[in-house]
Structure 1
Amino acid sequence: MAETNRTEVYVYERVVILSSCVLSFFGSLLIICTFARWPDLRTTPRKLLVYLSVTDLLSALSYFYGVLRSFDSDSGDCIAQGAISTFANTSSFFWTVAIAIYLYVYIVKSSQRQANNLVLYFHLISWGVPFAITVAALSLHKIGYDASEVSVGWCWVNIQAEDHVLWMLLTAKIWEFIAYVTLPVLYMLVKIHIHRAHAALSEYRPILTSSPVSHSPSSMADRKLTIIPIIFIMLRMWSTIRFLLLLTDSPAGHNPVLVTLHGIGNTFQGAANCIMFVLLTPSIRSRLVAQLCCRGQDKHGRSESVSQNRASAHTPSHREENTSPQTWENNEGVTCT
């Protein structure tokens, strides 16, 4: 492909997409850290979300480097960046579908054991298949500079390869298309099941108002995980549109607005998941706020303790305060340890 056909990536587009990469990196990191920090959050659905976040974190890092460098030819770091983003992107597709399958089996089939037994296969497929595809693409020299035809500054499939469309399908697009079909179906089945369960329960609600909350699979599962397919489709559709425009050799694929949306869509999933499953989840958000408040109170309490110690050195007869440095309680009654 001639250099004149290269899609121009403007400075403002790079700034926006780099910002999206940063948000996605820290969003994915926050999901992983909250999972590691609080043991009671370590349910299987949350574990699957963490695995998805690992792929989003790798994607954010590789895309950040690619957009920052804004490659204009094949090079060693171009190929390395393209390989990492190919693996992370493809793995993200598989983990997104894996989460939907897990929720379907766990909620609709009401089989936690069967759902948990699938996790091993999820690992084998979601890590193994992307790794095998990436190694094959590297071995056959298919990864390289793509003139931002279906990227935004980063490297992916070498646009000069005669079979570049085939490898674009193998390394991402075919799995993306499968996800587009599979996710909405599984998502709707889960939502329909939950709706029917709630409708059935509402008939007995007057009797159960004083009873303990039901621990059925539909109420125990983290229902917000069902929003992942929606996030996936809304963010990924722009890259699919540009791919289809490439197949038709349409100049619309160079449109700056479409290019920017493509860049944001490919890099923002980690941030979007963080917003939905950390910042907009009350139980986790309150814990984060409590941690921040306690850190501030701990620093304030230590400074007061130092001041009191200095004062007591000058007034030996003054009664010492019995204050524990390990426990602080804020005005809202949140205990900090």
Structure 2
Amino acid sequence: MGNNTDPGDLVDKINMLDIVLTLAGASLSIVGAFVLFFAHYLRHKSGKPTDEVRQFLIFLTVADMFNALGLLSGVARFLNSEDSTDEKVAACHRYEELGCIAQSYITTLFGMSSFFWTTIIAFHLFWTYEDNCPSSIKKTLLYHFITWGIPVAITTAAVSKNVLGSDLSVGSGAWCWISACLPQYDRTLWMTISGKGWEILMYFSCCAFYLLIKWRKIKIRRLRRKMNIGSLSPSQTAVQSDVETKPHEDIRFLLLWLIEVVLRIFGTIRYLTAAVRRHTAKEIKNYNTVDKVLLHFQSFGDSAQALCSCLLFCIFDKEIRNLLKDNFFCNQKRSEKRPLLTRQTTVC
């Protein structure tokens, strides 16, 4: 397979800033994931019910955490490889690197799983907006099949087709994804199938679910204006009061897709511009300069999803923040009191 990428565009594309940003985003995401897990445990321990959407958030965080771990291993491999040398680019990675393929498998699988869980959360909020009944076992199994089964199938197919490898940072950062050695059409096809296509679909589908929920809220408000609350049946009153009390919680979960867009849009723009350049042979003005700037943002954004979930659902959530604070400081106070009690016993 020949290299279809201009080697001059690839040498020294990744600099130390990209590596630092990836390391920072991935490390903070892993810490944020554990904080979210611990907060979930404390909330459950305090006797508060765990609804389905919070369980989905945990599954999403698991996917984001493993994605961050994969990116960390990708950076470690990049620092010990020679991806950016003229010889390596010209050779087009004729030999397979198992570490690169394994890292690409992890980040591709869990990256897709993250997109699917984000979409499932938005769909679930839309579907259960006026009816809080828990999902049936069949529906829950379907959710898990979609979010884990489809990514595993696609990524395993990619391995069997030998398309995973170093993409020389054309669509990624300091980590592996789709091999740069593939023909142009195959590269774009597999980049779309194994990530970017699902990501773009997530943007539009989650936006649609968000707008549909907003429309339902507007319809309910109009209904309230037309009909006196006192003339409604008890069941209608219960539905309306439930809708009025739950939006704050739902809006935070709906913000997950916006966070995903803000963090990942830079990589999506790089993917689209690279695809246009690859297939039209048109020289885009200031392409390399803009691409390097976008790469800086992508290096942090692609690894920071779990961090942002932690900020949204732990740090900016007063209830969870107080739970974490009480647990930490109460334990600290207990440990400080023990030596004091020992001294008092000795004096007596």
1:178 aligns with 2:201: yes
1:112 aligns with 2:133: yes
Aligned residues: 308
Quote the sequence identity (%): 26
Report the RMSD for the aligned CA atoms in angstroms.
2.7
Mapped contact 1:18–1:64 kept (Cα < 8 A):
yes
Mapped contact 1:96–1:228 kept (Cα < 8 A):
yes
Mapped contact 1:105–1:111 kept (Cα < 8 A):
no
The whole-number CA distance in structure 1 between the counterparts of 2:116 and 2:239 is 34
Per the alignment, residue 142 of structure 1 pairs with 163
Per the alignment, residue 316 of structure 1 pairs with none
Per the alignment, residue 113 of structure 2 pairs with 91
Listed one character per residue, the Cα deviations across residues 28-82 of structure 1 (whole Å, up to 9, x for unaligned) are 2221222233222521110000000000000100011112332525511111000
The whole-number CA distance in structure 2 between the counterparts of 1:54 and 1:105 is 24
Distance 1:269 1:198, change over 3 A: farther
1:61 aligns with 2:87: no
1:6 aligns with 2:7: no
Per the alignment, residue 329 of structure 1 pairs with none
Per the alignment, residue 287 of structure 2 pairs with 252
1:15 aligns with 2:20: yes
Give the residue type in structure 2 aligned to 1:95: W
Per the alignment, residue 238 of structure 1 pairs with 266
Per the alignment, residue 242 of structure 2 pairs with 216
Equivalent in 254, 257, 262 of residue 226 of structure 1:
254
Equivalent in 260, 275, 286 of residue 322 of structure 2:
286
The whole-number CA distance in structure 2 between the counterparts of 1:198 and 1:279 is 32
* Larger RCO (CA within 8 A; separation ≥ 6): 2
Mapped contact 1:245–1:253 kept (Cα < 8 A):
no
Equivalent in 172, 187, 204 of residue 164 of structure 1:
187
TM-score (norm 1): 0.83
1:115, distance to aligned residue in structure 2 (A): 7.3
Q: Counterpart of 2:128 in 1: which secondary structure?
A: helix
Mapped contact 1:63–1:154 kept (Cα < 8 A):
yes
TM-score (norm 2): 0.81
Q: Counterpart of 1:159 in 2: which secondary structure?
A: coil
The whole-number CA distance in structure 2 between the counterparts of 1:283 and 1:77 is 42
Mapped contact 2:167–2:179 kept (Cα < 8 A):
yes
The whole-number CA distance in structure 2 between the counterparts of 1:116 and 1:274 is 28
Q: Counterpart of 2:335 in 1: which secondary structure?
A: helix
Listed one character per residue, the Cα deviations across residues 273-320 of structure 1 (whole Å, up to 9, x for unaligned) are 1111111111111111111210221111112112112212xxxxxxxx
Give the residue type in structure 2 aligned to 1:27: G
Mapped contact 1:21–1:63 kept (Cα < 8 A):
yes
The whole-number CA distance in structure 1 between the counterparts of 2:308 and 2:54 is 15
Give the residue type in structure 1 aligned to 2:287: A
